[in-house]
Structure 1
Amino acid sequence: MTSSSSISIQNMQHPLLLSIFFLFFFLGFASADYLQNSDFESPPKNLTGNSSVPFVLLNENNTIPGWTFQGTVQYVTAGRIMALPDNGHAIQLGQDAKINQTFQANGDYMEYILTFTLAPGGQNCSANANITVSGPDNQGIFSFKQNYGKQAWQSYGLYLGLSGQDETVNLLFESQSVESDDNSTCWPVIDSLLVKAVENLVQGKDNLLLNGGFEFGPDFLSNSTEGILLDSASSPVQSPLSQWAVVGTIKYIDSEHFFVPHGNAAVEIVSGVSAGIHTEVTLAKGSAYNLEFILGDANNACEGDFIVEVRAGSVAQNFTIRSNGTGSAEKSSIKFEVDPNATTPISFSSFTTSQTKDGIFCGPVVDDVVLLSLSSNSLRIVINPNILISLLLLIVILW
C-alpha cells in the first residue's frame, strides 16, 4: 500500500520547545580544526623565487607546515594553467608520493569523516591518476570524475574511522599511477581538507531510522558549491553518510546551493541506474510499519522523469518523479510488515540516468526518510531551520 501528497517548505512548522532541543543537539556535532594547514595556504618554509610559479618541488629543506611527505610532491599555486578553489594553493602528489598528518582525537569514541577537494594536475591530461586516502579504519581510491560538476575541482567525502580520547588519527594520501607511461598521467592535486567528528547517533521516538534526514555526513566546504561526491561504501557503519551504505556515486547536497526539501542536507543520486543508498534496521517481527520519504529534484536544471525503486523489507515499489529542474518535492510512503529475517533492509535505487543540458550527471533527490510503527503513537514533527536560526540569535542576545 502506498500514499503520496505534495508538500511545501512553508508548511514545515514545529513547537518552540522542540526547536530549542534540536538546536543544542546539533551544536554537539560542530566541526573542529583538527588539521594544521588544511588548505595549504601556509607556504613551504624555505620557498624561494617567484611565488606565482604554479609548481614548486618540495624537498627536505623545503617542507610544508603541518605535513610530512615522501616522493615527488609539489606546492601548487592557482593561475592560468591551474584552477583551484578560492584561487589559492594546493599540493600535487607525483610519482610514488605520500603526504600525511596525524591529529589528536577529541572526546569519547567518535567517528571521523573527511571532506577534501581533488583536481586534475593539468588542462590536457590523457589520464587521471588515482589517489588513495586512508584513515585508521577505512580507505578509498579517488580520481577526478568527468561530467560530475562545472568546476575544475570536486569535493569528496570519506569515512576515516572510529577513535577514542587520547588516541591519534593518521590521515594519509598516496598517489597511484594508472598507466605505465608516467608522462601521460595527470597527477592529482589536493586542496581544502576538513575533518568532522560525529558521536554515536541515538534512535529517537519520532524516527526508527538513524540519520533518516541525512543531516550527518561530511561537512560542506566553503567551495562545495556543487555538493560532495560520495563513492561506493558497502557498509552503513563505514560510510561518510552516517548509517547509510552507498552504491555507485551519490552527491551530498546542502540547502545553501541546492533545493533541499527538509533540513540542511539531502542526497542526490547522480551515477544512474542501480546507484543509491541503503540501510538495515532491526524491527519487531510480524509488526506493521510505515516508511515516509520525500523525492524531488535539486533545482540544478536536471529535467526529465526520474524512476526510484523504494524497498522496505520485502515490499518494493517504483516511484516516478517528473522534474523541470527548478526544485520540487513530493512526500510518499510505503506500508509493510516485517518478515522473519533478522534485519529489515531500507533502500532507494535509481532506475534512470540523467544529465543536464551542460552534460552534468544528475538525478533524483531523496530526503527526510522516516520509519514509524503503525502500532505506536509516535508523533511526527518536522524542524524548520529558519526558526532554529532565530532561536540561536535570541539565545546569543539574551546571554
Structure 2
Amino acid sequence: MVMDKRSARCTALFALVCAAVAVRAVSAVSDGPLQNGNFEYAPDQSQMMNNGSSVVTGDNAIPNWKISGHVEYITSGQKQGDMILPVPEGAHARASRTCAQDEKLVLTVVPGYQTSEVPIQTIYTSCGWDYYSWAFKAHAALLSLTIHNPGQEDDPACGPIIDAVAIKAIRRPDPTPISNLLRNGDFEEGPYVPPGSQSGVLVPPKTEDHVSPLPGWKIMAHKKVVRYVDAAHFAVPQGARAVELVSGAESALMQEVDTVVGTWYRLALAVGSAGDGCAAYEGPMRVQVTAGSSGTKTVEVYGGAQRAELVFQATETTTRVVLVSLGYHTKSDNSGTLCGPVVDDVSLVATSQPAARRLFL
C-alpha cells in the first residue's frame, strides 16, 4: 500500500493504529490525517471482486492510495468468517484478517529508503486497536510511504487491519535550561495523538536509528513498546505529555549523555500512576532508574505522583540514563489492558559533591 505526499526537508512522524496508523503531510499541511488516511472514501464497486466480496482488484481503487497484492476494504461490523471486524475511526478501513502469532508491519519512505519493522503482535488495549508511531527524515519534497505486511500465510486474507493514518512534523524540543543535560526530558515533543484517543500512542523499539518518534529518547526492547500519553486522558505529573511503561522489564527508556569523569550529577524525575486503573497486585509498582554503572535507584509507586532523585559520580565520558518498570501490570477492570507506572519531567544536572556523612559513636 503506497501513498505519495509532499513535504519539506525535515523530520516527519507517523502515528499508527493497530497494524499501522500514521500520518498526513509535513510542510504546508498541518498535523493530522493523510488524505483519505481514514479510508472513508471507498473504491468503486467496479473495482471490487464479484459477489459482494471485500477484495479490492484495482491498483488505484482506493482514493489517494495505490495497492498491490491481496487487499480488502471493510466496513465497521463487517463479518469475515467467524469474526466481526470493528473499525475505530469512521465506518471504513483497508483490511485483512489477523491470523499470525508474530505480526509486524514494514514501513518504508522513499526517496532516501528509510525502512523499519514495527512489531504489532501484542495487543495493549481491550478493544483490539492500538495506535503505533514511526519516524523518518524527509529527503525530498515528494515522498512515497509504503505500508507492507511481510507475513507469509496459507490464507492470503490473513493480516493486520489498518486505519487512521496520520502525520506530524517532529519539531526540535523547546530549549531546556542549560543545566539540564537531557533532551526532551519533559516528553512534550512526541508522536501525533489523535483527538479523542483514550489509549495513548505506542512507541516501538528504537535503539539504532537516530530519528525517533520520541526525540532524544530510544526504546530499548526486542518487540515491546512504551506508551506516550496525554493529560486529557491520563494523570500526567507535569505539562501535557508523559510516558507510561507498559511492558515491564521488556522495554526501557534510554538516553545517552556526555558526562565528565569524576563530576557529580543529580538525576531527578517524577514517577506515578497514570490514572488509568492500573493495578499492582503484589506490592507497589516499581521503576528502576539507572545512570550507567555509576548508580541505581528503585522508586515505588503507591498512587499519585512523587519526585525521586539519584545522585552519582560519573565514571565514564558517556552515561546511559535508563528508566524501566520492574513489574507487569494490567487494569483492574479485568479487561487485560496492559499498563504501568508513568514517568515525566526527567532532568540531569551537575551538582556539588554530597557532604560526607559522619558517624558518631
Q: Give me the TM-score of the superposition, normalised by structure 1.
A: 0.69
Find the counterpart in structure 2 of residue 170 from structure 1: 144
Equivalent in the alignment of 2:322: 347
Q: Aligned letter for 2:208? A: S
Secondary structure at the aligned position of 1:191 is classed as coil
Task: Tell me the residue number matched to 1:210.
Answer: 183
Using the TM superposition, give the Cα deviation of residue 334 of structure 1 relative to its aligned residue in structure 2, in angstroms: 1.2
Name the structure 1 match of 2:253.
277
Q: Secondary structure at the match of 1:243?
A: coil
Structure 2 unmatched runs, 5+: 1-26, 79-83, 353-361
State the secondary structure of the residue aligned to 1:273: helix
Residue 67 of structure 2 aligns to a residue whose secondary structure is strand
Q: Distance in 1 between matches of 2:182 and 2:77?
A: 46
User: Structure 1 stretch 363-372 or stretch 81-90: which is displaced more?
Assistant: 81-90
Give me the whole-angstrom Cα distance separating, in 1, the residues matched to 2:182 and 2:52: 48
**1:90-138 per-position Cα deviation (integer Å, ceiling 9, x unaligned):** 1125xxxxxxxxxxxxxxxxxxxxxxxxxxx36xx57574322223434
Aligned equivalents of 1:127, 1:347: Cα separation in 2: 30
User: Match of 2:91, as an amino acid?
Assistant: G
* Preserved CA contact (<8 Å) 1:281 1:343: yes
Classify 1:43/1:128 alpha carbon distance in 2 versus 1 (closer, same or farther; 3 Å). Answer: farther
CA contact (8 A) 2:288 2:323 kept: yes
Q: Choose between structure 1 and 2: higher helix proportion.
A: 1
Aligned to 1:396: none
Question: Is structure 2 residue 167 aligned with structure 1 residue 195?
Answer: yes
Q: How far 1:206 sits from its partner (Å)?
A: 5.3
CA distance in 1, matches of 2:276, 2:317: 40
Instruction: Work out the percentage of aligned pairs sharing the same amino acid.
Output: 30
Taking structure 2 as the reference length, what is the TM-score of the superposition?
0.76
**Partner of residue 362, structure 1:** 339
Q: Does 1:88 align with 2:91?
A: yes
Tell me the equivalent position of 1:384.
none
Q: 2:201 aligns with which of 228, 233, 239?
A: 228
Q: Distance in 1 between matches of 2:299 and 2:85?
A: 41
Runs of 4+ in structure 1 off by over 6 angstroms are none
- Whether the aligned pair in 2 keeps the contact of 1:229 and 1:250 (CA below 8 Å) is yes
**Structure 1 CA distance for aligned equivalents of residues 141 and 322 of structure 2:** 35
1:374 matched to which residue of 2?
A: 351
Q: Is the 1:252–1:266 contact (alpha carbons within 8 Å) kept by the matching residues of 2? A: yes
Deviation of 1:203 (Å):
4.7
Q: CA deviation at 1:201?
A: 4.1
RMSD: 2.8
Aligned residues: 306
Equivalences for residues 115-264 of structure 1 within 5 A: 121=97, 125=99, 127=101, 129-135=103-109, 136-146=113-123, 148-159=124-135, 161-164=136-139, 166-177=140-151, 179=153, 181-182=154-155, 186-201=158-173, 203-204=175-176, 205=178, 207-222=180-195, 224-235=197-208, 237-247=210-220, 248-264=224-240
Give the superposition deviation at 1:163: 2.1
Q: Which runs of 5+ in 1 are unaligned?
A: 1-27, 94-120, 376-399
Q: Distance in 2 between matches of 1:88 and 1:54?
A: 17
Distance, in Å, in 2 between the alignment partners of 1:275 and 1:256 is 25
- In 2, the alpha carbon distance for the partners of 1:60 and 1:75 equals 12
1:238-292 Cα offsets, whole Å, 9 max, x none, are 3221111112321111111111111111111111124211001113343222111
Using the TM superposition, name which of 198-207 and 267-276 deviates more. Answer: 198-207
Cα-to-partner distance string for 1:12-65 (whole Å, 9 max, x where unaligned): xxxxxxxxxxxxxxxx9x953573211111222x23699xx9963222376111
Aligned to 1:67: 65
Over 3 Å counting, the alpha-carbon distance change for 1:333 and 1:127 in structure 2 is closer
Give the conservation status (yes or no) of the 8 Å contact 1:42–1:65: yes
Could you say what secondary structure the match of 1:237 adopts?
A: coil
> Per the alignment, do residues 285 and 317 of structure 1 end up closer, same or farther by CA in structure 2, a change over 3 Å counting?
closer
